[in-house]
Amino acid sequence: MKKQLALFENAPYYSIVVFYGDCVLKDISFIPNGTFLVKSNRVLEVLSIIIKNNAQFQFVKINEVVRILKAAVLNGESKEIQNQHIEYIKEISRKDTKSESSY
């Protein structure tokens, strides 16, 4: 998103990963800064925390933000992009594990 929204380079960015139903999170040893893992019933609570802890940011080109978010939703349906994401998560997990073992 940051790359796509370069005109908002000073905007705060957060990742909110939402899990639905009765899923169980297993072995979460690495959560990057600015990332929230939540069950669906806590999404509004996390959004409130983010809003409360950040200064207001003025989006002057809201239509551009909406266009890019819609494109991101479509990207999420792509099997190729899903596989790239899975590999990326595995890679950052491996890096984190290596750095932890050096302590």
Domain boundaries, the chain: 6-101
Share of the chain above pLDDT 90, in %: 1
pTM above 0.75, yes or no: no
* Mean pLDDT, the chain, integer: 77
Give the residue ranges of DSSP H helices in the chain: 43-52, 62-76, 79-101
Residue 15 has pLDDT above 80, yes or no: yes
Instruction: Flag the least confident range among 29-33, 59-63, 82-86.
Output: 59-63
Confidence of residue 61 (pLDDT cuts 50, 70, 90): confident
Is residue 31 within 8 A of residue 37, CB to CB? The reply is: yes
* Residue 38: predicted pLDDT: 86
Residues 92 and 29: their CA atoms lie apart, in Å, by: 11
